[in-house]
Amino acid sequence: MKAKPPAVRVLFRVMFGVGKFFSKAFKVRLGKVLFKSAARELGLLKLRSFISGGGPMAKEIIDGREALGHLPRAQAGAMRDAGLSHHAREDP
């Protein structure tokens, strides 16, 4: 975006803000319409899921994905405290 003219950057920020507002206030994925051409270029039109692991996801990433029209389906935390994920039994 830094290489784009100032008017394009301002328009992007306005569209991003509108998408974020509608996502938060009404759970409407307006960003899918506003950013359809960008999503097409990035190959996101067929994106069905997005999984992140290894640590908490930054709020800016979550907000950005919501503004683009991708609402989170599930979030989990502290999975390391959820119990055993596997157990190897030693033979005597």
Q: Where are the domains of the chain?
A: 1-46+57-71
Residue 91 or 31, more confident = 31
Indicate the angle between helix axes 59-67 and 6-26, nearest 10 degrees.
90
pLDDT in tens, 24-56: 898 888 888 888 888 888 887 887 777 766 677
> How sure is the predictor about 11, in pLDDT bands with cuts at 50, 70 and 90?
very high
pTM of the model: 0.59
Instruction: Using the predicted structure, report yes or no on whether residue 17 has a pLDDT greater than 70.
Output: yes
Distance CA 81, CA 85 (A): 10
